[in-house]
Amino acid sequence: MTLSRRHLLGALAAAPVATLASPSLLRAASHSATESATPDLPVAYHSFQIGSARVTALLDGHFLLNTSQINGFDQAEADTVLDGTFYRIKDDQMSLPVNGYLVEQGEAVTLIDAGTADLFGPILGGLEAALRAAGRTPEEITSVVVTHLHPDHIGGLLKSDGTARFPNAEIVVGQGEYDFWHDDAVYAGVPQDSRGFFDIARGAVAPYQDRLKMFEGEADVMSGLRSVPLPGHTPGHCGFLLETGVAPLLIWGDLIHSTALQFARPDWTLAFDMDPEQTVKSRTMMLDRAASEGLLVTGMHLDFPGLGRVERDGDAYGFDQAPWQFSL
Protein backbone atom coordinates (compact mmCIF):
# COMPACT_ATOMS: atom_id res chain seq x y z
CA MET A 1 0.00 0.00 0.00
CA THR A 2 1.39 3.40 -1.00
CA LEU A 3 0.69 6.47 1.10
CA SER A 4 1.05 9.95 -0.31
CA ARG A 5 3.30 12.40 1.51
CA ARG A 6 0.25 14.65 1.93
CA HIS A 7 -1.75 11.90 3.67
CA LEU A 8 1.15 10.88 5.88
CA LEU A 9 2.15 14.34 7.03
CA GLY A 10 -1.45 15.42 7.48
CA ALA A 11 -2.24 12.43 9.67
CA LEU A 12 0.85 12.84 11.80
CA ALA A 13 0.32 16.55 12.28
CA ALA A 14 -3.33 16.18 13.25
CA ALA A 15 -3.11 13.27 15.68
CA PRO A 16 -2.98 14.11 19.37
CA VAL A 17 -0.01 11.79 19.85
CA ALA A 18 2.07 13.73 17.35
CA THR A 19 3.26 15.85 20.26
CA LEU A 20 5.13 12.84 21.65
CA ALA A 21 8.56 13.60 20.35
CA SER A 22 10.86 10.78 21.47
CA PRO A 23 10.98 7.28 22.96
CA SER A 24 12.10 8.85 26.24
CA LEU A 25 8.50 9.88 26.75
CA LEU A 26 7.70 6.21 27.11
CA ARG A 27 9.67 6.34 30.34
CA ALA A 28 8.22 9.58 31.70
CA ALA A 29 5.62 8.11 34.00
CA SER A 30 2.59 10.28 34.65
CA HIS A 31 0.26 7.52 35.78
CA SER A 32 1.07 4.04 37.01
CA ALA A 33 -0.89 1.19 35.45
CA THR A 34 -0.95 -0.56 38.82
CA GLU A 35 -2.66 2.25 40.69
CA SER A 36 -6.16 1.66 42.01
CA ALA A 37 -9.25 2.96 40.26
CA THR A 38 -9.94 6.68 40.17
CA PRO A 39 -13.04 8.55 38.98
CA ASP A 40 -11.18 9.33 35.74
CA LEU A 41 -9.81 5.82 35.24
CA PRO A 42 -11.90 2.92 36.54
CA VAL A 43 -10.42 -0.58 36.58
CA ALA A 44 -12.74 -2.45 34.24
CA TYR A 45 -12.74 -5.86 32.58
CA HIS A 46 -15.43 -8.14 31.22
CA SER A 47 -15.06 -11.80 30.20
CA PHE A 48 -17.12 -13.82 27.76
CA GLN A 49 -16.80 -17.26 26.22
CA ILE A 50 -16.26 -17.78 22.49
CA GLY A 51 -16.22 -21.54 21.95
CA SER A 52 -13.13 -22.91 23.68
CA ALA A 53 -11.64 -19.44 24.21
CA ARG A 54 -12.21 -17.13 27.13
CA VAL A 55 -12.05 -13.54 25.90
CA THR A 56 -11.70 -10.63 28.31
CA ALA A 57 -12.16 -6.99 27.36
CA LEU A 58 -9.70 -4.76 29.25
CA LEU A 59 -10.39 -1.04 29.54
CA ASP A 60 -7.29 1.12 29.18
CA GLY A 61 -9.24 4.37 29.59
CA HIS A 62 -10.58 7.02 27.23
CA PHE A 63 -9.44 9.99 25.19
CA LEU A 64 -11.23 13.09 23.97
CA LEU A 65 -11.81 13.46 20.24
CA ASN A 66 -12.46 16.95 18.94
CA THR A 67 -15.01 17.20 16.15
CA SER A 68 -12.46 19.21 14.16
CA GLN A 69 -10.54 15.94 13.80
CA ILE A 70 -13.45 14.25 11.99
CA ASN A 71 -13.20 14.63 8.22
CA GLY A 72 -16.60 15.53 6.79
CA PHE A 73 -18.15 16.29 10.15
CA ASP A 74 -21.40 18.24 10.03
CA GLN A 75 -22.97 19.33 13.33
CA ALA A 76 -26.55 19.25 12.08
CA GLU A 77 -26.14 15.75 10.72
CA ALA A 78 -24.39 14.62 13.89
CA ASP A 79 -27.32 15.97 15.92
CA THR A 80 -29.69 13.91 13.78
CA VAL A 81 -27.58 10.75 14.22
CA LEU A 82 -27.34 11.24 17.99
CA ASP A 83 -30.96 12.21 18.53
CA GLY A 84 -32.63 9.79 20.93
CA THR A 85 -29.33 8.30 22.13
CA PHE A 86 -27.23 8.85 25.23
CA TYR A 87 -24.33 10.17 23.16
CA ARG A 88 -23.47 13.83 23.49
CA ILE A 89 -20.95 16.21 21.99
CA LYS A 90 -19.79 18.61 24.70
CA ASP A 91 -17.50 21.54 23.96
CA ASP A 92 -16.88 20.03 20.51
CA GLN A 93 -15.52 16.84 22.07
CA MET A 94 -16.53 13.20 22.39
CA SER A 95 -15.05 10.60 24.72
CA LEU A 96 -13.74 7.45 23.01
CA PRO A 97 -12.65 4.33 24.92
CA VAL A 98 -9.39 2.46 24.43
CA ASN A 99 -9.70 -1.32 24.84
CA GLY A 100 -7.43 -4.33 24.71
CA TYR A 101 -8.47 -7.98 24.60
CA LEU A 102 -7.12 -11.00 26.45
CA VAL A 103 -7.66 -14.36 24.75
CA GLU A 104 -7.08 -17.51 26.84
CA GLN A 105 -7.16 -20.83 25.04
CA GLY A 106 -5.35 -23.89 26.34
CA GLU A 107 -1.85 -22.86 27.38
CA ALA A 108 -1.88 -19.77 25.17
CA VAL A 109 -2.49 -16.46 26.98
CA THR A 110 -2.68 -13.85 24.25
CA LEU A 111 -3.09 -10.11 24.61
CA ILE A 112 -4.36 -8.23 21.56
CA ASP A 113 -3.02 -4.67 21.81
CA ALA A 114 -1.31 -3.38 24.93
CA GLY A 115 -2.90 0.00 25.63
CA THR A 116 -1.12 3.26 26.37
CA ALA A 117 0.66 2.77 29.74
CA ASP A 118 1.83 6.19 30.90
CA LEU A 119 1.87 8.05 27.58
CA PHE A 120 -1.32 10.08 27.98
CA GLY A 121 -1.85 10.96 31.62
CA PRO A 122 -4.51 10.00 34.17
CA ILE A 123 -7.46 9.16 31.87
CA LEU A 124 -5.57 6.35 30.13
CA GLY A 125 -3.11 3.63 31.12
CA GLY A 126 -5.39 1.24 33.02
CA LEU A 127 -4.89 -1.91 30.98
CA GLU A 128 -2.38 -3.57 33.31
CA ALA A 129 -4.59 -2.93 36.33
CA ALA A 130 -7.53 -4.42 34.44
CA LEU A 131 -5.41 -7.42 33.42
CA ARG A 132 -4.43 -8.05 37.04
CA ALA A 133 -8.01 -7.62 38.23
CA ALA A 134 -9.00 -10.26 35.65
CA GLY A 135 -6.57 -12.68 37.29
CA ARG A 136 -3.52 -12.49 35.02
CA THR A 137 -0.11 -10.85 35.30
CA PRO A 138 2.11 -9.50 32.53
CA GLU A 139 4.53 -12.36 33.17
CA GLU A 140 1.82 -14.87 32.21
CA ILE A 141 1.22 -13.41 28.74
CA THR A 142 2.66 -15.72 26.07
CA SER A 143 1.96 -13.51 23.03
CA VAL A 144 1.07 -9.88 22.40
CA VAL A 145 -0.60 -9.48 19.01
CA VAL A 146 -0.81 -5.91 17.73
CA THR A 147 -3.33 -4.53 15.25
CA HIS A 148 -0.99 -1.65 14.35
CA LEU A 149 1.84 0.37 15.84
CA HIS A 150 0.05 3.50 17.04
CA PRO A 151 0.93 4.60 20.60
CA ASP A 152 -2.48 3.83 22.12
CA HIS A 153 -1.97 0.20 21.08
CA ILE A 154 1.70 -0.37 21.90
CA GLY A 155 2.57 2.09 24.68
CA GLY A 156 1.88 -0.66 27.20
CA LEU A 157 4.61 -2.88 25.77
CA LEU A 158 7.13 -1.04 27.95
CA LYS A 159 7.40 -0.44 31.67
CA SER A 160 8.26 3.02 32.94
CA ASP A 161 11.98 2.14 32.96
CA GLY A 162 11.90 1.22 29.26
CA THR A 163 12.12 -2.55 29.75
CA ALA A 164 9.66 -5.12 28.44
CA ARG A 165 6.40 -5.22 30.37
CA PHE A 166 5.72 -8.75 29.06
CA PRO A 167 9.02 -10.56 29.65
CA ASN A 168 7.84 -13.98 28.48
CA ALA A 169 5.80 -12.92 25.45
CA GLU A 170 6.51 -12.91 21.76
CA ILE A 171 5.30 -9.85 19.83
CA VAL A 172 3.22 -10.64 16.75
CA VAL A 173 3.02 -7.84 14.18
CA GLY A 174 2.37 -7.52 10.46
CA GLN A 175 5.51 -7.36 8.34
CA GLY A 176 4.25 -4.40 6.32
CA GLU A 177 3.27 -2.46 9.42
CA TYR A 178 6.64 -3.08 11.06
CA ASP A 179 8.54 -2.18 7.89
CA PHE A 180 6.70 1.12 7.45
CA TRP A 181 7.52 2.47 10.91
CA HIS A 182 11.12 1.25 10.61
CA ASP A 183 11.71 2.67 7.13
CA ASP A 184 14.54 5.19 7.44
CA ALA A 185 13.62 6.84 4.15
CA VAL A 186 10.08 7.50 5.32
CA TYR A 187 11.39 8.71 8.68
CA ALA A 188 13.78 11.13 6.99
CA GLY A 189 10.88 12.71 5.11
CA VAL A 190 8.82 13.39 8.22
CA PRO A 191 9.19 16.80 9.91
CA GLN A 192 11.18 16.72 13.12
CA ASP A 193 8.20 17.66 15.29
CA SER A 194 6.12 14.80 13.85
CA ARG A 195 8.57 11.95 14.34
CA GLY A 196 7.14 10.93 17.69
CA PHE A 197 4.96 8.26 16.08
CA PHE A 198 8.01 6.59 14.57
CA ASP A 199 10.15 6.94 17.68
CA ILE A 200 7.47 5.36 19.84
CA ALA A 201 6.76 2.53 17.38
CA ARG A 202 10.46 1.70 17.20
CA GLY A 203 11.11 2.10 20.89
CA ALA A 204 8.14 -0.01 21.99
CA VAL A 205 9.21 -3.13 20.10
CA ALA A 206 12.97 -2.70 20.60
CA PRO A 207 13.22 -4.85 23.78
CA TYR A 208 11.43 -7.67 21.96
CA GLN A 209 13.71 -7.90 18.91
CA ASP A 210 14.62 -11.52 19.65
CA ARG A 211 10.95 -12.38 20.12
CA LEU A 212 9.30 -10.75 17.10
CA LYS A 213 7.00 -12.86 14.95
CA MET A 214 6.00 -11.36 11.61
CA PHE A 215 3.14 -12.24 9.31
CA GLU A 216 1.94 -11.04 5.92
CA GLY A 217 -1.60 -10.62 4.57
CA GLU A 218 -4.14 -13.17 5.74
CA ALA A 219 -2.24 -15.59 7.93
CA ASP A 220 -2.75 -17.97 10.83
CA VAL A 221 -0.76 -16.07 13.43
CA MET A 222 -1.43 -18.76 16.02
CA SER A 223 -3.89 -21.56 16.61
CA GLY A 224 -7.42 -20.28 16.04
CA LEU A 225 -6.36 -16.68 15.29
CA ARG A 226 -6.16 -15.38 11.74
CA SER A 227 -5.13 -11.92 10.56
CA VAL A 228 -7.54 -9.85 8.44
CA PRO A 229 -5.86 -6.98 6.55
CA LEU A 230 -7.73 -3.68 6.99
CA PRO A 231 -5.31 -1.04 5.64
CA GLY A 232 -5.93 2.67 5.61
CA HIS A 233 -5.76 3.81 9.20
CA THR A 234 -2.12 2.76 8.95
CA PRO A 235 -0.42 0.91 6.07
CA GLY A 236 -0.50 -2.45 7.84
CA HIS A 237 -3.53 -2.02 10.09
CA CYS A 238 -5.37 -5.31 10.54
CA GLY A 239 -7.92 -7.17 12.59
CA PHE A 240 -7.90 -10.72 13.87
CA LEU A 241 -10.53 -13.42 13.42
CA LEU A 242 -10.83 -15.78 16.37
CA GLU A 243 -12.19 -19.16 15.25
CA THR A 244 -12.76 -21.72 17.97
CA GLY A 245 -15.33 -24.09 16.51
CA VAL A 246 -18.37 -21.86 17.05
CA ALA A 247 -19.36 -18.45 15.72
CA PRO A 248 -16.12 -16.56 14.99
CA LEU A 249 -15.23 -13.28 16.66
CA LEU A 250 -13.60 -10.48 14.68
CA ILE A 251 -11.44 -8.13 16.73
CA TRP A 252 -11.14 -5.35 14.19
CA GLY A 253 -8.69 -2.90 15.72
CA ASP A 254 -9.43 0.71 14.74
CA LEU A 255 -11.90 0.03 11.95
CA ILE A 256 -14.38 2.22 13.87
CA HIS A 257 -13.34 4.94 16.31
CA SER A 258 -16.72 6.47 17.14
CA THR A 259 -19.52 4.01 17.85
CA ALA A 260 -21.87 6.98 18.00
CA LEU A 261 -21.13 8.38 14.55
CA GLN A 262 -19.21 6.11 12.19
CA PHE A 263 -21.70 3.26 11.82
CA ALA A 264 -24.21 5.82 10.59
CA ARG A 265 -21.56 7.73 8.62
CA PRO A 266 -18.85 5.24 7.62
CA ASP A 267 -17.47 7.86 5.22
CA TRP A 268 -16.44 10.11 8.12
CA THR A 269 -12.76 9.47 8.74
CA LEU A 270 -10.42 10.88 11.36
CA ALA A 271 -7.55 13.26 10.80
CA PHE A 272 -5.10 10.55 11.85
CA ASP A 273 -6.32 7.97 9.33
CA MET A 274 -3.25 7.95 7.10
CA ASP A 275 -5.13 7.10 3.91
CA PRO A 276 -8.75 8.25 4.32
CA GLU A 277 -9.94 6.79 1.01
CA GLN A 278 -8.51 3.36 1.79
CA THR A 279 -9.83 3.60 5.35
CA VAL A 280 -13.37 4.00 4.02
CA LYS A 281 -12.90 1.11 1.57
CA SER A 282 -11.69 -1.21 4.34
CA ARG A 283 -14.43 -0.05 6.69
CA THR A 284 -17.34 -0.46 4.27
CA MET A 285 -16.02 -3.81 3.05
CA MET A 286 -15.79 -5.18 6.59
CA LEU A 287 -19.05 -3.65 7.82
CA ASP A 288 -20.80 -5.22 4.84
CA ARG A 289 -19.15 -8.58 5.47
CA ALA A 290 -19.91 -8.48 9.19
CA ALA A 291 -23.57 -7.64 8.54
CA SER A 292 -23.91 -10.30 5.82
CA GLU A 293 -22.27 -13.06 7.85
CA GLY A 294 -23.69 -12.05 11.23
CA LEU A 295 -20.17 -11.90 12.66
CA LEU A 296 -19.58 -11.16 16.30
CA VAL A 297 -17.26 -8.17 16.37
CA THR A 298 -15.41 -6.05 18.85
CA GLY A 299 -12.85 -3.28 18.57
CA MET A 300 -10.38 -1.11 20.38
CA HIS A 301 -12.58 2.01 20.38
CA LEU A 302 -16.06 0.51 20.51
CA ASP A 303 -18.00 1.28 23.67
CA PHE A 304 -16.60 -0.99 26.38
CA PRO A 305 -16.69 -3.97 26.39
CA GLY A 306 -17.42 -3.66 22.69
CA LEU A 307 -19.02 -6.99 21.77
CA GLY A 308 -21.88 -6.96 19.28
CA ARG A 309 -23.07 -7.39 15.71
CA VAL A 310 -23.27 -5.03 12.76
CA GLU A 311 -26.70 -4.36 11.28
CA ARG A 312 -27.59 -2.70 8.00
CA ASP A 313 -29.59 0.49 8.24
CA GLY A 314 -30.45 1.56 4.71
CA ASP A 315 -27.24 2.75 3.09
CA ALA A 316 -25.53 2.89 6.47
CA TYR A 317 -25.07 0.56 9.43
CA GLY A 318 -25.91 0.18 13.08
CA PHE A 319 -24.37 -1.67 16.02
CA ASP A 320 -26.32 -4.12 18.17
CA GLN A 321 -24.26 -4.35 21.34
CA ALA A 322 -24.42 -7.69 23.13
CA PRO A 323 -25.91 -7.77 26.64
CA TRP A 324 -23.57 -8.23 29.57
CA GLN A 325 -22.63 -11.89 29.97
CA PHE A 326 -22.79 -12.86 33.63
CA SER A 327 -21.56 -16.45 33.41
CA LEU A 328 -19.06 -18.30 31.27
| Mean pLDDT of the chain, nearest integer | 89
Give the CATH number for residue 112: 3.60.15.10
Global pTM reads 0.89
Domain annotation covers residue 328: no
* Number of structural domains in the chain: 1
Count Cβ atoms within 10 A of the Cβ of residue 179 and give its class: 0-12 exposed, 13-18 middle, 19 or more buried. Answer: middle
Please give the residue range of the domain that contains residue 218: 5-321
pLDDT tens profile 200-234? 999 999 999 999 999 999 999 999 999 999 999 99
Domain annotation covers residue 39: yes
Domain annotation covers residue 326: no
* Phi, then psi, of 201 in degrees rounded to 5: -60, -45
Domain annotation covers residue 327: no
Domain annotation covers residue 46: yes
Are 94 and 134 in contact, with CB atoms under 8 Å apart?
Answer: no
The predicted pLDDT at position 7 comes to 53
- Given a cut of 70, the residues of the chain with pLDDT beneath it are 1-40, 326-328
